[in-house]
């Protein structure tokens, strides 16, 4: 009951806030989208889908018109790509590059925070909240659970609509799986890539994708987590308050498929096929139009707590860890 009440309050606040934000009731095609962090292939893929009306999967509702370069000097995946993607956005799409996030916010209606590095997200989103610009934060929402909690606290404090998600949540194949009648859902397995990056908690870098898929079918309510970790494989088992079991199977070596399997009282069903970015961008544009997040802050914070609890279980040699304990620890460490 408490979780439903919190979510209802958040949605109501976001919807009310949308009424006050400039540009919200303009024609959706007029929305000017600003990108923060141009060091990921996502900025090119998103801009192609949004800006090119001839693209077979074109997503209407706005155009990427401006960007802030960003980049992390200690992350090879960032510094090796940011200049190339910035030039491509300028040359192919005419995107204007601003020197500061404050300047960017002054010249757009909405923001997509796309920095591949989750660590600077908290500081990068602060001026966005100050400018009262609705913001979608690409995965991972932050580089720590502490920062993720602080981001959503600031969003609420400033009454600014904000959400984060992996594209996996919106894959048509996963949406179709959720519609299957398996009876009472009793457990689920989410299989996917889990590459590691030393600058981020183990699962935050790439394990966030299959974790997002797991939470897409299981929802909130996980109480305890235990992790088995080897060089090429992670198995993280969560037990939900109602007795359901959710298992994350993360793979680093060899083929890395993404698939969710549901185990119900009537049937077992598994995800067929993959997906792409277009359905997520449709959800993002609807979010920009209405101010109502398709994924609640509570769910995003819990799935990041699930991943942090998995790290804690590893540190303790595979011990069972309570999610609430890691949440409380992160809250106490928050600025």
Whether residues 123 and 95 share a domain: the answer is yes
Diameter of the chain measured on Cα atoms:
57
Same domain, 145 and 48: yes
Whether residues 325 and 183 share a domain: the answer is yes
Answer whether residue 264 shows pLDDT above 50. Answer: yes
Residues 136 and 260 in one domain: no
Please, where are the H alpha helices in the chain?
A: 2-20, 41-51, 76-79, 82-93, 101-106, 121-130, 145-158, 172-178, 202-205, 208-218, 278-290, 297-315, 323-333
Percent of the chain with pLDDT over 70: 91
Query: Mean pLDDT throughout 265-282?
Result: 96
b/e code 260-269 from CB counts within 10 Å (16+ = b): bbbbbeeeeb
Listed residue (260, 277, 176) closest to 214, CA to CA: 260
The enclosing domain of 11 has a CATH number of 3.40.50.720
Q: Which residues pair with 269 in a beta bridge?
A: 262
- Residue in 71, 77, 64 with CA at minimum distance from that of residue 107: 64
| CATH code at position 222 | 3.30.360.10
* Model pLDDT for residues 176-207, shown as the tens digit of each residue: 999 999 999 999 999 999 999 999 999 999 99
Task: Give the gyration radius of the chain's Cα atoms.
Answer: 19
pLDDT in tens, 226-258: 999 999 999 999 999 999 999 999 999 888 889
In a domain, 300, yes or no: no
21 pLDDT higher than 60 = no
Q: What integer is the mean pLDDT of 323-328?
A: 96
- Let me know whether 208 and 262 are in one domain: yes
Claim to verify: residue 118 and residue 176 sit in the same structural domain: no
Domain membership of residue 15 (yes or no) is yes
What's the burial of 282, exposed, middle or buried (CB within 10 Å: 0-12/13-18/19+)?
middle
pLDDT band at 79 (very low <50, low <70, confident <90, very high): very high
Distance CA(1)–CA(234), nearest Å, equals: 33
Mean pLDDT (whole number) for 276-287: 97
Classify residue 299: in a domain, yes or no.
no
> For residue 254, what pLDDT is reported?
84
Q: In this model, does residue 321 exceed pLDDT 60?
A: yes
- Average of pLDDT values for 114-120? 98
Say which residues have a Cβ less than 8 Å from residue 271's Cβ, sequence separation at least 6: 173, 174, 176, 177, 258, 259, 260, 261
Is the same domain home to 186 and 137? no
Residues 266 and 284 in one domain: no
Same domain, 309 and 187: yes
Query: Are residues 115 and 10 located together in one domain of the fold?
Result: yes
Task: Please count the structural domains in the chain.
Answer: 2
Please compute the mean of the pLDDT values over residues 156-185 and round it to a whole number: 97
The CA-based angle 152-158-161, given to 5 degrees, is 60
Residue 100 placed within a domain? yes
**Residue 16 — very low, low, confident or very high, per pLDDT cuts 50/70/90?**
very low
**Do 271 and 284 belong together in one domain?**
no
Within a domain: 28: yes
Residues 15, 292 contacting (CB under 8 angstroms): yes
Mean of per-residue pLDDT scores for the chain = 92
The Cα–Cα gap between 295 and 86 comes to 29
- Classify strands 259-264 and 268-270 as parallel, antiparallel or unpaired: antiparallel
Q: How far is residue 277's CA from residue 123's CA, in Å, rounded to a whole number?
A: 26
Residue 9 within a domain: yes
Per-residue confidence (pLDDT) for residue 253, from 0 to 100 = 83
Answer yes or no: is pLDDT of 72 > 60.
yes
**Is the pLDDT confidence value at 170 over 70?**
yes
Residue 30 has what pLDDT? 81
51 is in which domain, residue-wise? 2-166+277-294
Residue 260 domain flag: yes
pLDDT at 11: 39
My answer on whether 283 and 138 are in the same domain is yes
CB atoms within 10 A of CB 73: 6
Residue 42: CB atoms within 10 Å:
20
- Provide the b/e sequence for 46-57 (b: ≥16 CB within 10 Å): bbbbbbeeeeee
pLDDT of residue 28: 42
Q: Identify the pLDDT of residue 335.
A: 67
């Amino acid at each position: 009951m408490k979780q439903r009440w919190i979510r209802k309050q958040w949605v109501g606040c976001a919807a009310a806030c949308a009424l006050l934000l400039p540009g919200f009731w303009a024609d959706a095609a007029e929305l000017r989208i600003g990108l923060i962090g141009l060091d990921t292939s996502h900025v090119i893929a998103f801009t192609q889908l949004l800006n090119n009306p001839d693209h077979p999967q074109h997503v209407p509702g706005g155009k990427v018109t401006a960007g802030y370069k960003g980049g992390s000097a200690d992350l090879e995946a960032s510094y090796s790509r940011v200049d190339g993607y910035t030039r491509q956005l300028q040359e192919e799409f005419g995107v204007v590059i601003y020197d500061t996030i404050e300047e960017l916010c002054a010249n757009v209606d909405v923001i997509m925070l796309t920095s591949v590095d989750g660590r600077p997200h908290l500081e990068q989103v602060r001026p966005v909240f100050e400018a009262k610009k609705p913001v979608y934060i690409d995965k991972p929402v932050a580089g720590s659970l502490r920062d993720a909690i602080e981001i959503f606290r600031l969003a609420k404090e400033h009454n600014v609509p904000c959400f984060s998600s992996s594209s996996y949540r919106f894959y048509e194949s996963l949406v179709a799986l959720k519609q299957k009648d398996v009876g009472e859902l009793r457990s689920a397995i989410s299989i996917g890539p889990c590459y590691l990056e030393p600058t981020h908690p183990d699962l935050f870098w790439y394990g966030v994708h299959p974790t997002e898929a797991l939470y897409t079918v299981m929802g909130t309510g996980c109480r305890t987590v235990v992790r088995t970790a080897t060089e090429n494989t992670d198995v993280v088992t969560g037990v939900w308050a109602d007795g359901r079991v959710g298992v994350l199977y993360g793979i680093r070596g060899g083929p890395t498929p993404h698939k969710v399997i549901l185990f119900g009282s009537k049937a077992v069903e598994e995800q067929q096929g993959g997906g792409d970015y277009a359905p997520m961008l449709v959800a993002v544009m609807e979010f920009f139009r209405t101010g109502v997040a398709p994924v609640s802050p509570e769910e995003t914070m819990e799935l990041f707590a699930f991943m942090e609890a998995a790290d804690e279980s590893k540190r303790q040699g595979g011990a069972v860890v309570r999610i609430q304990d890691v949440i409380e620890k992160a809250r106490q460490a928050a600025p």
